[in-house]
Every structure is written in C-alpha cells, then in structure tokens.
Amino acid sequence: MKRLLEMRDATKELNILRALNTYKNPFQIVGTYRLIDDGIRPEATVIIKTEKGEMHEASTGVGPVDALANVLKKSLMSIFPEIKGVKLVDFSSRISDTRSGTSAKVEVSIIFTDGVNIWHVAAVSDNINMASFLALIDGFEYAILSKNSRDET
C-alpha cells in the first residue's frame, strides 16, 4: 500500500548531524527562554545568536507553547526568511513515568510542515515548557537545514 505522506524523523537526523565534526549549527540560543504566563496572554522572550549578529525578541501567544513558537519564528525569520512558511501541524505530550506524578519527565512531540515537506521532532524534560522549547528549536533548525540542503542541489 502506498503511503499518503512521508514524514521525516528530524530529531534522529539532527542527532546524527550533530555528532559529525563538520556540523555547524545555523543559530544558537543565548541562555534560555523567559516566559511570563499570566494564564491569559503568555509572553516569551529569547536571545538568538547567528553569524550575522544577536537578536533579542519577545512575542505573545494563546498559550505558553504558542508564545515560544512565535518568538522563535519571529527572531529567526529576520535572518532565515524560509522560516516564514513553516507551520506547526500537531503538538502532543506524554508523561514518561506515571508513578512520578507531577515531577515526571515529559516528552513533547511536534509535527511541522513548510507546505511541501513534513517532519517530526521530540524532546524530553522535567518541564513541559522546556521540552516544548527544545522541540521547537529542533523543528526550526531542521527547516533551515532542509532549505539550505535543497538550495545546494
């Protein structure tokens, strides 16, 4: 049976790429994110460093993960315009050890698309917002690398 879609495992591909001596990350997060969540209009702040400089951005969202996605996209688009077409298609989370209750590690899974390709990322942390942030970073990094890879061929 023919598959309806092909979804790339971006987490696996990024982990392999990062193990290579030749890998160069297109951007770096300076420190980590800042998140103010009043339960109504969360705001996220991030500092991103690239070869072209350092950007400090803030953005809001309908929830903490949306605010984190918006601030990453906003800051990366100024240097990597290909990010503009990237969308989050699906978000899910699961607790890895239900016996640990609220202190359990959380795995976040996000599916992205650029309108042509589909890729999946996953990250684990003690904090659902941090797991989400790590997965978002991977998703956007993969988008940049994929676009650059297609442009070189």
| Global pTM value | 0.91
Distance CA(29)–CA(45), nearest Å, equals: 11
Give the pLDDT of the chain (153 residues) as one tens digit per residue. Answer: 677 889 999 999 999 999 999 999 999 999 999 999 998 999 999 999 999 899 999 999 999 999 999 999 999 998 999 899 999 999 999 987 777 777 789 999 999 999 999 999 999 999 999 999 999 999 999 999 998 665 655
Closest of 135, 81, 118 to residue 3, by C-alpha: 118
CA atoms within 13 A on the CB side of 86: 28
Closest of 92, 94, 39, 89 to residue 67, by C-alpha: 39
Class of domain 7-152 (CATH, top level): alpha beta
Find all residues with CB under 8 Å of 72, minimum gap 6, and list them.
46, 48, 136, 137, 140
Q: State how far the alpha carbon of 141 is from the alpha carbons of 98, 99, 103, 122, 136, in Å.
A: 31, 34, 29, 13, 8
